[in-house]
Each structure stands twice: as structure tokens, then as C-alpha cells.
Homo-oligomer: A and B are copies of this chain.
Amino acid sequence: MSKNPDGKQIKVGILGATGTVGQRFITLLAKHPWFTIHVLGASSRSAGKTYAKAVMWKQTTPIPPVVRDMIVHECHSDHFAECAIIFSGLDADAAGEIESAFRSADLAIFSNAKNYRRDPSVPLIVPLVNDSHLSIIPQQRALQNPPLKKGFIVTNANCSTTGYVIPLRALERAFGPIESCLVTTMQAISGAGYPGVPSLDIIDNVVPYIGGEEEKMEWETLKILGGIADGDDGVKTFDMHARHPLRVSASCNRVPVIDGHTMCVSVRFQQRPPPSPQQVREALVAYTPEAQSIGCPSVPVHAIFVHEEPDRPQPRLDRYYQDGAGVSVGRVRQCPVLDIKFVVLANNISIGAATSSIINAELAVLKGVVKVE
């Protein structure tokens, strides 16, 4: 079992512990080599009950014994004071206030909610892509009143954004800026939480619309793939890929699949001539994000697994490979309109949600951004 820098167990708390994302956090953290679940937070309706009583458990593995009898607390920072790390699986309507209050209490929050993704001092981190954005955190702390010593918010991206920026990042690293990208998604129902999509709306159907999703993908991609600009005044800003403008067009669809977002992606490179499909395949296979080299325990062996079979990846067959912590790419071929097209599969509830937050926290520990006492 891998060791964290100090060889200590790190106490973590989970906000929204009874929800869909919270259940995933618990499933993953219960077997984590570094992190120990210390406090569970949920709504006042759940507070005071044991976790087993409070939750409507919907995972395919049983409730981990370690949390079964833990008493659920309300999401007040007092209960979480001993936690070095807080994972937030809160819904957007609750996350805004609670995460802000927790940060004010000098706590380190890794949030799956969308509320602070567009905040100019909050990094939006896909752990296999842009962990370098953690460098904004000192500025985030300094901007709080009073300035913080340890607290911050790190967000991870929308589940559909997460999947396809990983291969885009690999391609930009190998071949330079991408100029335009057209992506059509076929997204799983679990992306909408629980109860989420009514069965009458999706069995034997496709819904070619997910409210706000296309805008999120088009905007988040720029923040994630862009860099951080240092102003003359010493102020850092996310540059939104501005030095090489990147146009993104997303079309988002819901399909009757339980887990796993499949995406058809076409890209055009700035570089002429563009790379060949074979060069693209090799670059994807070779891609090694820092989270791998630095030793994050939840990072998969293959950040990007490239399929050679013509009909892969498929969500049902490939979504749980490597516990869903990497992405699968297949069908790399020429695009008659742009340059190259391919198919991406990302497990929306793993790398697209809780797993991202956890690897972000591992990165923050290894880079000393989280202070482990």
C-alpha cells in the first residue's frame, strides 16, 4: 500500500454523504490508503441518524462497515474541524453557502459541485490534466477576509468535460494548440443524480438536450486547457486558452445507459499538416500526467487506454476498467471536415466525479498544498 509523504492517516470529511456522489466518495474512501473517513455531513433530515439509517444506499457493493454506524452530522464546520480534507458531494443549491462557510473556517474543500468552477481564484482541476492550476491557491487564500492559512476550494469539472479534456490535453502536449473541437456526447443517466431522469423519459429514447451542459463543456474546457497568466501586478488569472483561441462546439444527449459517457470528438490542430491518426494514437498511449509520475495512489496505470478494435470503447464493457479512473479512446481516424476524429468513453461517476476529487486531494497532499499535521 502506497504511503503519503508523512506516512500518516489523513482525516477526511464528506459533505452530502447520503447523496449519489457522497455514496461514491464513501465507497472509494473506505478503501483508500491515506484517507480515513472521520465525519459525515448531510442535511438536517439525516443528522443524528446512523449512516445506514440515513442513506438510501444505491451502490452495487454493500455499505462499508466503517461508516455503517457513524452518526451523520449537519454540514457545519465545527463538526469537521479535525479534518485535513473535506470532500463535497453537495447539490448545487446547497454547495454555495456551505462550501464558502467551510473555507472561511480555514478548511480545505475538494468539491464536485459546480458553484465555484467559474470563480477567478478557484482552480477547476481535472487531475490527469491541469494540476498545475493548484498554484492559484495562495492567491485564493490571500483574497479571503481575513486571509486563510490552510483553507481553499478546489473544484473538479463537469462529468462530460472531464472525459474529453484528458485526450485533448494529451494531443496539445504532443502536437501543440488545438484550434477547434466539435464534440457530441451520449451521456449516462447517472450523470443526473438520483432520482434524476424519469424512466418514462429515457427508456427506448434519446433526449438531445441537457440543460446548461453544452455551455459548461464549452467554457470549462477553456479554463482547464488554458494556462495561468501572471499580471504585472502579480495577480494570476486563468487565461482561458487565449493565446491560441480554441473554439469548442458541444452537443449533449442523454441515452439509456446507466454509467459511462461516450463522446464523438473531432479536432482541428493549429499545426499544418496535422498529425496522422497513427501519431495521434501513439501520443494518447504515451500520455503520462503528473499525477502518475508523482505517485497519486488512485491514478490508473493507463491514463488513456487506446482500443484497436473498431467497435470500442463501449460503456457497458469498458466503463469499470481500472475502476473507471482513466478514460478509453478508440476509433482514431481522419475527419473529412476537421483533422482527426475519435471516440472517448469516461466513467462519469468515477473520473467524472468522486475519483477526480480524490486524486485532486492526493495531488494537493503530495504538492504540500494541503497541510497534513
User: Is residue A7 contacting chain B, with contact meaning CB distance below 8 A?
Assistant: no
Would you call B256 and A204 a contact (CB within 8 A)? yes
Contact between A205 and B315, CB atoms less than 8 A apart? yes
Verify A251–B184 contact, CB threshold 8 A. Answer: yes
A234 at the interface (CB under 8 A from B): no
In the complex, identify which listed stretch (A11-19, A83-91, A306-314) lies at the interface while the others stay far away: A306-314
Q: Contact: A208 with B314, CB < 8 Å?
A: yes
Given A199-B189, A336-B248, does the pair A262, B204 have CB atoms closer than 8 Å? no
B316 touches A249 (CB 8 A): no
Contact of B255 with A341 in the complex, beta carbons under 8 Å: no
Assess whether A195 is interfacial by the CB under 8 Å rule: yes
A1 within 8 A of B: no
Q: Say yes or no for A63: interface residue by CB 8 A criterion.
A: no
Chain B residues positioned under 8 Å from A145 (CB to CB): none
Interface size class of A (residues with CB under 8 A): 35 or more
The contact of A199 among B202, B310, B313, B338, by CB within 8 Å, is B202
Name the contact of A186 in the complex, choosing from B180, B196, B253, B266 (C-beta under 8 A). Answer: B253
Contacts of A335 in B (CB 8 A): 182, 249
Contact between B200 and A247, CB atoms less than 8 A apart: no
A273 at the interface (CB under 8 A from B): no
User: A175 in the interface, Cβ–Cβ < 8 Å?
Assistant: no
Q: Which residue of B lies closest to A187 (CB)?
A: B206
CB nearest to A197 among chain B residues: B199
A199–B230 Cα distance when bound, in Å, is 47
For the complex, give the distance between the alpha carbons of A186 and B189 in Å. Answer: 16
Chain A 155-203 residues near chain B, CB threshold 8 A: 180-182, 184, 186, 189-190, 194-203
18 more contacts with CB within 8 A, not counting A203-B256, A208-B311, are: A58-B200, A181-B337, A184-B251, A186-B186, A186-B206, A189-B203, A195-B195, A195-B201, A203-B203, A204-B257, A205-B257, A205-B314, A208-B312, A208-B313, A208-B330, A249-B337, A258-B316, A337-B338
- Please name 8 pairs of A and B residues whose Cβ atoms are closer than 8 Å in the assembled complex, sorted by A: A180-B337, A186-B186, A195-B201, A205-B315, A206-B255, A207-B314, A249-B336, A251-B343
The 10 closest A-B pairs by CB, nearest first: A195-B198, A184-B184, A205-B316, A209-B311, A251-B264, A249-B337, A199-B199, A208-B343, A249-B336, A180-B337
Q: Using CB atoms and an 8 Å cutoff, list the residues of chain A in contact with chain B.
A: 58-62, 180-182, 184, 186, 189-190, 194-209, 211, 218, 247-249, 251, 253, 255-258, 262, 264, 266, 310-318, 320-321, 330-331, 335-338, 341, 343
